[in-house]
Amino acid sequence: MSADLSPVAVIGAGSIGGSWVALALSRGLEVHAADPAPGAQDALRAAVADHLTELDCTSQPLERLHFHADPAAAATGAAFVIECGPERVKVKRELFAALDEVTDPGVVLASSSSGIGPSAFQDACRHPDRVLVAHPFNPPHLVPLVEVVGGRLTSAQTVDTTMAAMRALGRSPVHVRAELPGHVVNRLQAALWREAYDLVRRGAISVADLDRAVASGPGLRWALLGPIATQHLSGGPDGLAHVLEHLGPPMVDWWADLGDPELTPELTMQLVSGVTEELGGREPEVRARRDRGLRELLTTKERLGLDTVGEETP
């Protein structure tokens, strides 16, 4: 298998697919995108144009974007395929069987699935060894993380090729070595959300104050270094060993007191009302400012050399 990505096929032109398309175009690749939904082509081109502006892409990359209603037509002749279809196993099995039929056996078929492992659908293919998950973090054209997850039948070569391909796209891939529901990062998020929801349910804190607490405190540090490296640096000369010796026992007590909330209609309403009040109808403005902040943060991390901390040697 080769890490040569052009042309790349993106199957599914929703928010994730459109972001992948913009990223590939910004890296000089030819892209064939597919989506059967009415109006999908116009919506995709509009979204990609916005994303390219965010990426400061001044060329005319939209000339390298080709749209198809049929996924098989988009994948024919592709050097790399990224699937961004619905998060349903039956749909993915049908899609991957069709993609497998029209692509060369050496072409990686990567799913953007946020929680389904490749073993659930790769056996629908004649060449299941080239099927895996390459789960991006939204929005993929800005956030560099990609989780690469092999399935029961995925070859080591496919994993290596995909890791190299993601680096060629300017991403920061991590190899997830076990198939788990939600992979790794969504599980970490879910753990935080579970306790956040329970704290709101208990009345311990408002939605707005909880968001402020994370964004103004640990979130600042986690944006620069991961949670374990951050914990290590807080431990003085002895680092993590000191932290676990002195704070480990009380942390175990905290674990025992963590909540296990039910997502009842009442809690759902409490959370939705809280975030609606927090943002006050300014979602588009806040999203734009967030994305600008992401770009500036990534530039700062690169300038400080923090963008490569924790990376494994290819």
Write out pLDDT tens, residues 266-306. 999 999 999 999 999 999 999 999 999 999 999 999 999 98
Report pLDDT digits (tens) over 189-204. Answer: 999 999 999 999 999 9
Q: Is there a single domain that holds both residue 139 and residue 197?
A: no
β-bridge pairing 131-136 and 145-150: antiparallel
Please say whether the beta carbons of 5 and 80 come within 8 A: yes
Average pLDDT, the chain: 94
Q: Is there a single domain that holds both residue 194 and residue 152?
A: no
Please tell me the predicted confidence (pLDDT) of residue 158: 98
Task: Give the percent of the chain with pLDDT over 70.
Answer: 98
Asked if pLDDT for residue 55 goes beyond 70, the answer is: yes
**End residue of a domain, out of 122, 155, 176:** 176
Asked if pLDDT for residue 174 goes beyond 50, the answer is: yes
Q: Is 45 exposed, middle or buried (0-12, 13-18, 19+ CB in 10 A)?
A: middle
Confidence of residue 187 (pLDDT cuts 50, 70, 90): very high
Confidence of residue 2 (pLDDT cuts 50, 70, 90): very low
DSSP state of 151: -
Q: Domain containing 211 — which CATH number?
A: 1.10.1040.10
Report pLDDT digits (tens) over 36-53. Answer: 999 999 999 999 999 999
Q: Looking at the domain assignment, is residue 304 inside a domain?
A: no
Place of tokens 């050399």: 305
Please tell me the predicted confidence (pLDDT) of residue 80: 98
Q: Is there a single domain that holds both residue 163 and residue 244?
A: no
Q: Is there a single domain that holds both residue 149 and residue 210?
A: no
**End residue of a domain, out of 125, 157, 176:** 176
What dihedral angle (degrees, nearest 10) is formed by the CA atoms of 298, 57, 33, 107? -60
Q: Looking at the domain assignment, is residue 303 inside a domain?
A: no
Q: Is there a single domain that holds both residue 202 and residue 172?
A: no
Asked if pLDDT for residue 58 goes beyond 90, the answer is: no
Q: Is there a single domain that holds both residue 115 and residue 160?
A: yes
Q: Looking at the domain assignment, is residue 311 inside a domain?
A: no
Asked if pLDDT for residue 17 goes beyond 90, the answer is: yes
Q: Is there a single domain that holds both residue 93 and residue 149?
A: yes
Please tell me the predicted confidence (pLDDT) of residue 61: 87
Q: Looking at the domain assignment, is residue 235 inside a domain?
A: yes
The pTM of this model reads 0.92
Q: Looking at the domain assignment, is residue 290 inside a domain?
A: no
Asked if pLDDT for residue 90 goes beyond 50, the answer is: yes
Asked if pLDDT for residue 211 goes beyond 90, the answer is: yes
Task: Give the percent of the chain with pLDDT over 90.
Answer: 93
Q: Is there a single domain that holds both residue 135 and residue 270?
A: no
Please tell me the predicted confidence (pLDDT) of residue 308: 79
Question: Whose CA is closest to 314, among 150, 178, 148?
Answer: 148
Q: Report the run of H or E that residue 202 belongs to, with start and end.
A: helix 185-202
Report pLDDT digits (tens) over 100-117. Answer: 999 999 999 999 999 999
Confidence of residue 309 (pLDDT cuts 50, 70, 90): confident
Please tell me the predicted confidence (pLDDT) of residue 176: 98
Q: Looking at the domain assignment, is residue 107 inside a domain?
A: yes
Please tell me the predicted confidence (pLDDT) of residue 244: 95
Please say whether the beta carbons of 142 and 291 come within 8 A: yes
Q: What is the mean pLDDT of residues 107-130?
A: 97
Please say whether the beta carbons of 37 and 26 come within 8 A: no
Q: CB neighbours of 291 closer than 8 A, spacing ≥ 6?
A: 54, 139, 142
Q: Is there a single domain that holds both residue 172 and residue 190?
A: no
Q: What is the mean pLDDT of residues 55-61?
A: 81
Q: Is there a single domain that holds both residue 16 and residue 145?
A: yes
Q: Looking at the domain assignment, is residue 219 inside a domain?
A: yes
- Residue 266 structural domain: 185-280
Q: CB neighbours of 248 closer than 8 A, spacing ≥ 6?
A: none
Q: CB neighbours of 121 closer than 8 A, spacing ≥ 6?
A: 89, 92, 93, 96, 111, 131
Please tell me the predicted confidence (pLDDT) of residue 1: 40
Q: Domain containing 104 — which CATH number?
A: 3.40.50.720
Asked if pLDDT for residue 3 goes beyond 70, the answer is: no
Q: Is there a single domain that holds both residue 76 and residue 155?
A: yes
Number of structural domains, the chain? 2
